[in-house]
Structure 1
Amino acid sequence: MHDLDQIWRFENSYLKLPSSFYSEISPSSISNPSLLLYNKVLADHLGLKSLNSNENYLTDIFSGNYIPEASRPLAQAYGGHQFGYFNVLGDGRAILLGEVKGVDEKKYDIQLKGAGKTPYSRRGDGRATLYSMLREYLISEAMHGLGIPTTRSLAVVKSEDLVYREKVNEMGVLTRVASSHIRVGTFELAARMGDSDCIRKLFDYTLERHYPELTDVENPVVAFLENVIDRQIHLVNDWMRVGFIHGVMNSDNMSISGETIDYGPCAFMNGFNPNTVFSSIDENGRYAYANQPKMAKWNLMRLAETLLSLIDKDAEKSVELVQPLFDNFEEKFNEVWKNNHLKKIGITKEQSGDQELLNELMNWMEKAKPDFTNTFRGLVNSYLHKDDVFQLEEFQTWKSKWKKRVASADGYEECLIRANPSIIPRNHLVEEALNNGSEGRNLKDFYAILEKLQKPYDSYKSDKFQNPPLSDLGYKTFCGT
């Protein structure tokens, strides 16, 4: 035992669940680990500030080479619908060390991703490329900077060991932090265990962890489902307001806590096109930008199916109680979408004609395909409207109408700044930074873009990070597994 182990104060509440929900297993060691990235601000929030100067100790833990005394590592089991088809899955390369209590008194999972084989690895090697772990660190911290609920990244460790994918890669291990790793797919697996006690125990555990305020309401299961739906409505709307495309919205990648999770093939849209797809495995556009609300609802319906037996003994009555939640889904989603996008044009108090004004802009954007981010941010930082597309008569006519509308609106410029990032993780710049960082060069470009992405709403005079690529045609993302 190391003297610093007591600082972690690990809990292992997931072990209260039946053993069919997990397998206890330790990470596999790696060769000559080095700590590339360590998120000191996040560490402070987790109550781990005392560890910040102990690099050797941190490297041993974040590599999986040393397990703190109170930790009981495990890999979680879950199922999930992947592109519409159910599979029994589980953490094939991720190992949960335990939970810590942050300075906000909330529990946070500490998980090592790329930590070695588990009983759920199937044909996988349990490892991750350094490139993909650096990418998740960058994108998850960018999402946090954008104010979007997300898992966080605490550290990345590099190993001299190699990972074989399409080519030989350097190996990396990411330390991921989450409110929990309970997924829609966790409930799907529980419902298929053939033991009603399993789904009840999972529900009770999840309610206590994420929605304790619902314990004493009249029907906590329906209330729970309603709250999960509400969080997902707001989460997916948050994605769409910044042009984010998750890329693999399988039900095992939907977190019950309402955080964005699993960043494999995600990317940010440049030119506006509702049908944008970046993921190489999404050949039919199932998870395209505009399909994300529909896919969220589909996943949530799978969650509802697992809970019916807990709502009422009469299955028909259970369906009657949950059906209104889905009948009203589109209306609720569209209301949040409208409010978000009105803020993106500086309007906080809707008046007659505002919906039409917004629709005019969105219709023009769909035809002209201007840069999504710069279209909105350019309303307050005019230099971002230098491209020829913004000189088109249709846009200039709309802009004149818009100026008249906001002329009397108090604080519209501040609203524009708060609602519209000036910098997003531009795909071409992310690739450049990751290639340099993962091919034995240096992390200079990585640190430069990370610093900007941590303050994405700040105003910058013309900056290379604001410039879209000449073209996104053919750009594809990959899962990295």
Structure 2
Amino acid sequence: TTGERVVRESFLPGAILTRVASSHIRIGTFQFFSAQQDSASVQALADYVIDRHYPEAGESSEPYSALLACVVKAQARLIAQWMAVGFIHGVMNTDNMLVCGETVDYGPCAFMDVYHPQKVFSSIDTQGRYAYANQPDIGHWNLSWLAQALLPLMDDVEAEAINKAQAALGAYATVFGETYQGLMAAKLGFATASVEVNQLFSELLELMAEQACDYTLTFRALGDQLAPDQEAKLAATIFTLPPAFQPWLQNWRQLLAQDNIDTATAHATMVGKNPAFIPRNHQIEAAIEEATRQQDFTRFHRLVDVLAKPFTYSEENQDLAIAPTADEEVKATFCGT
């Protein structure tokens, strides 16, 4: 800590936080130089990113088109992973999106408790622009601005540059869809996605929304359905699937059998893809309060330990997996969180 008092909603102890990433170059970094029509700096930045992150693009006869294609794929895969675990970034403007495809600048981020596709946590996102379900489209929008910045490098003929940019951007939906569908298939115990599996998880999400189910615990509870009797089950004692799930559960088991996936294999897949622990907002808030108000870091260290191995359930930490009560629910997050 710095020893200074910082004005937030109240006076709080100041501290310095170091953020670590492969690099801190954002889409907005390219926009900054592009807006000044500083093509030399855009090119220098692009060359640096190619050298540091995407050397395969440098081997292409059209390195800047290849660079855009690489970033498009990296962003699509990243956002698919967010969606699969119920993560909401909260501030997806272009200067918060790294071209290396890692997550950064997520001050008001949150993991969903109850599933709702239009869930928003960020206190400043009053219009729901960065709602959970909107994240894939916002990712594509951001990449279009990177494409615009790179246009002068992609071809001397503007029309040709635009065609190349559109081709690169056109891959976004495919890469996102394939990645997301593959992740969701694995969360249900399947080896690969298919039309039938995609339909199954779409129906599951609809059920979860209708029944106001906890996102993380629902998937973990499904895995518990296939677990050996002697195995400690997270969801069994803290979460029960609603009766409305019974027809869906029957279809799920039938499709697993149809795909020749035995119970043990499906269970092993699901345990490795569905976390038992996530950074639940009410637990994070409690850890912050206890650390800053009482200098008690017990909960903080417990959270660090369980979140380092989120797929491994431990009964002694069950309280950290439980969904919040109505009184505990955190409905808005802030950049100072």
Which amino acid in 2 is paired with 1:391? P
Residues in 2 aligned to 1:248 and 1:206: alpha-carbon distance in whole angstroms:
23
Q: CA deviation at 1:202?
A: 1.1
Partner amino acid for 2:255? R
1:459 to 279, 296, 313: 313
* Equivalent position of 2:332 in the other structure: 476
- Structure 1 residues 397 and 213, CA gap change in structure 2 (3 angstroms): same
Letter in 1 for 2:332: K
Query: Counterpart of 1:360?
Result: 203
* Whole-angstrom distance in 2 between the partners of 1:433 and 1:414: 32
Equivalent residue number for residue 196 of structure 1 = 39
The answer as to whether partners of 1:254 and 1:260 remain within 8 angstroms in 2 is: yes
Q: Could you state the TM-score of these two structures normalised by the residue count of structure 2?
A: 0.91
State how 1:406-445 maps to structure 2 within 5 Å.
406-407=256-257, 408-410=260-262, 411-445=265-299
Query: Partner amino acid for 1:249?
Result: M
Post-superposition offset of 1:350: 4.1
Q: 1:195 to 1:209 in 2, by over 3 A?
A: same
Question: In 2, Cα distance between the equivalents of 1:296 and 1:385?
Answer: 37
AA aligned opposite 2:273: A
Q: Which residue is 1:164 aligned to?
A: 7
The AA in structure 2 aligned to 1:372 is Y
Q: Shift of the alpha carbon at 1:349?
A: 3.2
Taking structure 1 as reference, are residues 293 and 349 closer, same or farther at Cα in structure 2, changes over 3 Å only?
Answer: closer
Compared CA separation, residues 428 and 222, structure 1 to 2 (3 A): same
Question: What's the CA shift string for 1:276-326, capped at 9, x where partnerless?
Answer: 000000000000000000110010000000000001111111001111233
Return closer, same or farther for 1:221/1:291 CA change in 2, 3 Å cut-off.
same
Give the Cα separation in 1 of the matches to 2:186 and 2:238: 23
1:279 aligns with 122
Aligned residues: 323
Q: In 1, distance between residues paired with 2:147 and 2:5?
A: 42
Pair 293,351 (structure 1): closer, same or farther in 2 beyond 3 Å: closer
- Higher fraction of helix: 2
> In the alignment, residue 465 of structure 1 is paired with which amino acid?
L
Cα distance in 1 for partners of 2:35, 2:89 equals 27
Which stretch shifts more, 327-336 or 192-201? 327-336
In terms of fraction of residues, the more strand-rich structure is 1
For the structure 1 residues 386 and 406, does the alpha-carbon distance in structure 2 shift closer, same or farther, using more than 3 Å as the test? Answer: farther
CA distance in structure 1 between the partners assigned to 2:330 and 2:285 by the alignment: 14
**How much has 1:216 moved relative to structure 2?**
2.1
The structure with higher relative contact order (CA 8 Å, sep 6+) is: 2
1:403 to 253, 256, 262: 253
Aligned residue runs from structure 1 range 307-386, under 5 A:
307-350=150-193, 353-382=196-225, 383=233, 384=235
Secondary structure of 1:370's counterpart equals coil
Identity %: 38
Contact kept, 8 Å, 2:281 with 2:329, in 1: the verdict is: no
Gaps of 5+ in 2: 226-232
Deviations 1:230-257 (A, max 9, x none): 0111101111111110000010000011
Q: Using the alignment, how far apart are the partners of 1:360 and 1:480 within structure 2?
A: 37
Counterpart secondary structure, 1:163: strand
Aligned residue identity for 2:153: L
RMSD: 1.9
Amino acid at match of 2:156: K
Runs of 4+ off more than 6 Å: none
Distance 2:76 2:312 in 1: 27
Shift of 1:470: 1.7
CA separation of 1:316 and 1:170: change in aligned 2, threshold 3 A: same
